[in-house]
């Protein structure tokens, strides 16, 4: 079940980005943990696709988290409270604390941004950007994510099948898999370039470069209230950041 949409995609993405900024500015493990528990975990659970998002977070943040714990946990030059020692490696309380802080921050970043990105309605976002009069080419870059990425994946799959039918044996050893990947990339990229050349002409003939205002088939789901809220949120975070640093510098 997809989640029920409450806010405009632009509002959601801005809120996610501002939350990341706040975590960076405040930079304490308590705040990061609070954001993780109060915002990220419920957000993922209520997203309608918790398994997919959890997997994406694990793939994106997992290796970094592990390497951070190994690196800072075992080798932290500033660490003084030694908990265990094996030759040159020392587990220190300070190292673990530092690793926990960076790990928490990383978990919050990936959690917030991936949840926002994977649940946002791209067509609605494109429509909002069009209604707000954003640069057409930027909108196209965002919008083509709707169509192009799944299209590329499907095409790569079909090319692999065609090549297998021609005698390519995929799987088994790593070199064989790498070779398979390279064999797919040539027709894939060639095909996409040919498509792109044709699409350029199509876009031109459909008035993509026409001057003047554009409209969108999808209704504008953005509201004056949300627009005001976005400005207020951005101004609030900016003000809070400045105040936070000013107080920090004065201490």
Partner 1 sequence: MIRLECSSYAYDGGPVVLSGVDLAVEPGALVHVVGPSGSGKTTLARLLAGQTGAGSGAQFRGALTLGGDRLGFSGSPEDPRIDPAAWSSTVAYAAQRTEGQLSMMSATVAEEIAFGPANRGMPAGELRAAVQATAARLGLTDLLNRDPRRLSGGQLRRTIIAAAVVGNPRVLILDEPFQGLDAGSRAEVARTLEVLRAAGTALLICAPMLPGSAPQHSRVLALVSGRPVFDGTLAQAWTAGLERYAIGTEGSAPDVRRDPPQGCAAPVAASDVRQDSTGGPLTELAGVSFSYRREGTSGQAEVLRGVDLRVDPGDIVGLTGANGSGKSTLLQHLNGLLRASSGTVTVAGRLLGRRTATGRLAGAVGFLFQDTDQQLFERTVLREVAYGPTAAGAGREGAQERARTALAAVGLGHAAGEHPYELGFVERRLVAFASLIASEPSVWVLDEPTAGLDLRGRNRVGELLLGHAAAGGAVILATHDGAFADALCTRILELKDGRILSGGARRGADGA
Pick the stretch among 87-95, 107-115, 214-222, 227-235 that binds partner 1 (CB under 8 A).
Answer: 214-222
- Min dist. Cβ of residue 170 to partner 1 (A): 7
**Does the footprint of partner 1 cover residue 147 (CB under 8 A)?**
yes
The Cα–Cα gap between 14 and 230 comes to 7
CA atoms within 13 A on the CB side of 218: 16
The Cα–Cα gap between 93 and 96 comes to 5
- Min dist. Cβ of residue 192 to partner 1 (A): 9
| End-to-end Cα, the chain, rounded Å | 50
**Does the footprint of partner 1 cover residue 190 (CB under 8 A)?**
yes
Q: Which is nearer to partner 1, 89 or 162 (CB)?
A: 162
Length of the chain: 251
Question: Which pair of tokens denotes residue 131?
Answer: 């209604």
- Min dist. Cβ of residue 132 to partner 1 (A): 14
**Does the footprint of partner 1 cover residue 50 (CB under 8 A)?**
no
- What is the DSSP code string of 110-173? HHHHHHHHHHS-HHHHHHHHHHTT--HHHHHHHHHHHHHHHHHHHHHHHHHHHHHHTT---SSS
**Does the footprint of partner 1 cover residue 168 (CB under 8 A)?**
yes
From the list 7, 69, 75, 208, which residue makes contact with partner 1 (rule: CB under 8 A)?
Answer: 208
Question: Which pair of tokens denotes residue 51?
Answer: 């398994």
**Does the footprint of partner 1 cover residue 223 (CB under 8 A)?**
no
Give contact residues for partner 1 (rule: CB under 8 A).
Answer: 122-123, 126, 130, 139-140, 143-144, 146-148, 150-151, 154-155, 158-159, 161-171, 183-184, 186-187, 190-191, 194-199, 201-210, 212-219
């Amino acid at each position: 079940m997809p989640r029920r949409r409450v806010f405009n995609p632009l509002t959601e993405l801005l809120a996610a980005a501002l939350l990341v900024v706040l975590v960076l500015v405040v930079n304490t493990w308590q705040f990061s943990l609070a954001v993780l528990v109060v915002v990220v975990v419920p957000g993922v659970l209520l997203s309608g696709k918790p398994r997919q998002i959890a997997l994406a977070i694990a793939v994106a943040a997992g290796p970094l988290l592990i390497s951070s714990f190994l690196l800072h946990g075992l080798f932290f030059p500033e660490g003084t409270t030694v908990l265990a020692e094996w030759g040159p490696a020392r587990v220190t309380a300070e190292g673990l604390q530092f690793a926990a802080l960076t790990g928490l921050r990383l978990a919050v970043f990936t959690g917030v941004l991936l949840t926002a990105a994977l649940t946002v309605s791209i067509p609605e976002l494109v429509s909002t950007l069009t209604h707000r009069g954003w640069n057409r080419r930027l909108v196209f870059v965002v919008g083509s994510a709707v169509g192009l990425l799944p299209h590329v994946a499907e095409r790569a799959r079909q090319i692999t099948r065609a090549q297998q039918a021609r005698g390519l044996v995929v799987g088994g050893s790593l070199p064989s898999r790498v070779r398979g990947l390279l064999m797919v990339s040539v027709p894939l990229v060639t095909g996409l370039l040919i498509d792109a050349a044709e699409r350029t002409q199509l876009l031109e003939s459909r008035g993509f470069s026409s001057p003047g205002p554009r409209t969108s088939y999808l209704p504008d789901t953005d509201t004056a209230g949300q627009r005001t809220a976005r400005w207020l949120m951005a101004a609030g975070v900016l003000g809070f950041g400045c105040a936070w640093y000013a107080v920090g510098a004065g201490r």
